[in-house]
Amino acid sequence: MKKGLLPLLMIALFYSDSVFMLFFPENVFDGAYVPAPHFFIIGLLFMSVFYDRNTAIKYGFLFGFLFDLFYTELLGAYLFFLPLIVYITSKLTKWLQSTFVIFFIIILFDIALFEMIVYGLNLLVQRTEVSFEPFVSMRLYPTLALNALYYILFAIPLRNAFQKFKNKFG
């Protein structure tokens, strides 16, 4: 296994969000719910716990920057808050035992926190006028549900991948 596979995995995760957005059958909910995919963040958090925290922070910086530039066009949001989320997660997993169930709750907490930070930021720069309660019901719950589903499907493969990377060159 070559060392290049780790960045390759992260790049694939980075693009997976927008590819999911392209082919997500939006008409099912008729726009009533707005679930946002955060597959890259989930991958990054797996990396921070099962591979190496500092590498994950660096990846968070780099890909957060790309995220801001290429997708959201609000520079700085992902760039700073992805590493912050990684940092918080590494602190949380130190106190709590990292079983799949507890890590599931930590990840959902992280995504909720991240969503709220980005919501606040968007409210601040007037990119959105949605008030807090519609935000929670229209966006936060569906987002958590979507990412919870993703976690359930991909937790084991992701953990195995990062553990393999760690054994090889950690």
Footprint of another protein on this chain (CB under 8 A)?
11-12, 15, 17-23, 25-27, 30-31, 34, 36-37, 66-77, 79-80, 118-119, 121-122, 125-130, 134, 139
Distance between CA 65 and CA 148 in Å, rounded? 25
User: Which of 77, 104, 76 shows the shortest CA–CA distance to 92?
Assistant: 104
Supply the minimum distance, in Å, between the C-beta of residue 98 and another protein: 24
CB 122 within 8 A of CB 128: yes
User: Do the Cβ atoms of 115 and 140 come closer than 8 Å?
Assistant: yes
Count the neighbouring beta carbons within 10 Å of the beta carbon of residue 52.
Answer: 17
Nearer to another protein, 14 or 46 (CB): 14
Question: Is 55 or 122 the residue whose CB approaches another protein more closely?
Answer: 122
Q: Which is nearer to another protein, 84 or 108 (CB)?
A: 84
Residue 75: CB minimum distance to another protein, A:
4
Residue 26 Cβ, how far from another protein at the closest point, in Å? 4
**Nearest distance from C-beta of residue 145 to another protein, angstroms:** 15
Q: Cβ closer to another protein: 27 or 167?
A: 27
Least distance (Å) between residue 44 CB and another protein: 14
Residue 100 amino acid letter: F
* Cα 28 from Cα 45, distance rounded (Å): 30
Do 53 and 32 meet the contact criterion of CB atoms below 8 Å apart?
no
Residue 79 or 107: which CB sits closer to another protein? 79
- C-alpha angle 107-35-139 in degrees, rounded to nearest 5: 90
